[in-house]
Structure 1
Amino acid sequence: MGSDSGSAVTVGDEASVEPMVSVYRHDVHKARMRSHEHAEGSFRGVRVNEDVPLGADGDAALLSRPGGEPERTVAAHESWFRVSLLTGELASTVEPVRDIGAALREVIELDDAERLHAAWLDASVPSLFCESPYYPYTSLKYHTLLAAALLDNYRAGFGFEELFFAVSKRDEAGVVEVVPHRTVLSTPGFALHVTGGPDGRPAVRLGDVPARSFADVWARLPEVPFDVDGERRWRVLDAQLRRVRSWSAALQFIEEYIAVLSPVEWPCSGGAAGGDGRDA
């Protein structure tokens, strides 16, 4: 797949937003509980709801939910608020936010794409929402990060079939590697990446076409980024990730699980296993 110019283009008298900026803004309407068709073109003075080039948004959607006409998967669920795989509760009841609109603007208002990526990695409010009310376990936050990773790789000339799912653990200095746009999850102990260049990290190919394949891809990793043999809580997490097919739901589950059950101190890459002795 060829790359595009990477810069903002002009349509008529109006310049469009640079693609790697617009990808972080394209689905804000979902956090406002509106469909794409009924979304506005701006939110609190920021341009939103623009198309993502090279099919990256559609491919990211296929990683987490079926194509075609949606089918309701949870009876009577009509909310854009995400249902937590960890607790079974609406995310909005677990983490109430005083001003969702203000919090959303904070993760879209920047004009620097790399800073937007960092903001989304750390954001909590987009995690409150699903990709679609028909698939309430999916995550708006991680759909957006996956779309950005695909777009960045496509613009660099990689096709989907050339992409890898890669992991990196915290290094001896206590730093977790974050690759602009290609890191799709960052925790205190490790990071997960979607990239055409794994650069020596434990990695496995995503597959030939976008699909709800997270469980299969995770199971094929040559190395997972936590100590499965050392503690039961990590065995439980590993076992669950071998069952979750949706990419955004799986990444969101990791975030929630680690927030509740992570050790006080993480081992560094190459070091001895750490932890605080608690068991899940």
Structure 2
Amino acid sequence: MPENASLTDFQGDGGQDEMVAAYRHDAHKMNGQPHDYAPETFAGVPVNQTVPHGADGDASALSRPNGKPEQTMENHETLYRLSLIEGESRYDPEEFTRNGVESAVRDLLTKNDPETMHRAWLESGVVSAFNESVYYPYTSLKYHTLLVAALLDNYRDGHEFADLLLVVDRAGEIVPHRTVYAGDDFALRIDESAGGRPSARLGSRPWRSWASAWKRLTAHPLDAAHDKYDMVLDANLRRIGAWSTALQYIEDFREAFDR
């Protein structure tokens, strides 16, 4: 399928729902296969297809620089993500056995209901272990995929990138496809309307603008003035540009310093 596939082209390709395809589009990155040589199916379902409306490219630009990628970390050419908390690979040979990972990935990718898939990606711990590019090992495949889905769902409704906001919701408030982070204290979504919630515009074009958007939120979900853990988390989030890295950092931080 061509890189600039339209929605009509995509729906004509076997009639697969474009939102389901968004959650399956980078399946090859979980087994280390280049996109050009990746299989078109996994466990009997279509995978590794082009996402319409340019949502994949825009989500990539939120976390990675444009142009030809270059290795940014010596001696780390693996599909497993490096942690900003520990500075080490998230690969654990006891946790990530071949059969265990394959089973988890199969369960993640073979669902057919797009809203169920969205929930599964939000809750998945296994997919958090993978980066979205071996050249940028601190990025997160999990949050790249959720960003792709959020952008695609907005684009399908006729919104342009410049219309979009980072919105802070209460914990437990999940907006199908648009929630990109769901934690115990708050949730984050990409949407055209904030509905009265704290928010910040993404900007006129996709770039590594996480820190800029986080700083411009009309109200913050962290108590950085009184809570030392929130203070550290907030300070570090103000230094991270890549969106998938920042969202994964929130998840990792909460897991590492569970209170």
The structure that has the greater radius of gyration is 1
**Equivalent pairs: percent with the same residue?**
46
Distance 1:262 1:48, change over 3 A: same
* Contact 1:6-1:19 at 8 Å conserved across structures: no
* Contact 2:7-2:52 at 8 Å conserved across structures: no
Asked if 1:142 corresponds to 2:138, the answer is no
Distance 1:260 1:23, change over 3 A: same
Q: Report the aligned-residue RMSD.
A: 1.7
Aligned length: 252
Q: TM-score, normalised by structure 2?
A: 0.93
Distance 1:94 1:157, change over 3 A: farther
Q: Partner of 2:200: helix, strand, or coil?
A: strand
1:10 to 2, 9, 12: 12
* Contact 2:11-2:18 at 8 Å conserved across structures: no
Separation (CA, whole Å) in 1 of partners of 2:176 and 2:66: 28
How does 1:207-218 map onto structure 2 within 5 Å? 207-218=203-214
Q: Which residue of 1 is the match for residue 3 of structure 2?
A: none
Tell me which moved more, 178-187 or 72-81. 72-81
Post-superposition offset of 1:49: 0.5
| Deviation digits for residues 138-187 of structure 1 (CA, Å, limit 9, x no counterpart) | 000000000000000000110000000010133xxxxx200000000000
Q: Which 5+ residue runs of structure 2 have no aligned equivalent?
A: 1-5
How does 1:216-255 map onto structure 2 within 5 Å? 216-255=212-251
Post-superposition offset of 1:93: 2.7
Q: Which 5+ residue runs of structure 1 have no aligned equivalent?
A: 171-175, 264-280
Post-superposition offset of 1:262: 3.5
Separation (CA, whole Å) in 2 of partners of 1:78 and 1:8: 33
Q: Partner of 1:23: helix, strand, or coil?
A: helix
Distance 1:103 1:42, change over 3 A: same
Post-superposition offset of 1:87: 0.7
Distance 1:108 1:6, change over 3 A: farther
Q: Give the 4+ runs in structure 1 shifted more than 3 A.
A: 4-8
| Deviation digits for residues 226-253 of structure 1 (CA, Å, limit 9, x no counterpart) | 2112211100000000001000000000
Q: Which residue of 1 is the match for residue 165 of structure 2?
A: 164
Post-superposition offset of 1:97: 2.4
Q: Which residue of 1 is the match for residue 67 of structure 2?
A: 68
Letter in 2 for 1:123: S
Post-superposition offset of 1:6: 8.8
Letter in 2 for 1:178: I
Q: Which residue of 2 is the match for residue 270 of structure 1?
A: none
Q: Which residue of 1 is the match for residue 58 of structure 2?
A: 59
Post-superposition offset of 1:108: 1.1
Post-superposition offset of 1:9: 2.5
Q: Partner of 2:62: helix, strand, or coil?
A: helix
Q: Which residue of 2 is the match for residue 77 of structure 1?
A: 76
Asked if 1:103 corresponds to 2:112, the answer is no
Separation (CA, whole Å) in 2 of partners of 1:229 and 1:34: 45
Structure with greater proportional helix content: 2
Separation (CA, whole Å) in 1 of partners of 2:130 and 2:61: 18
Separation (CA, whole Å) in 2 of partners of 1:116 and 1:6: 22
Distance 1:252 1:6, change over 3 A: farther
1:182 to 178, 183, 199: 178
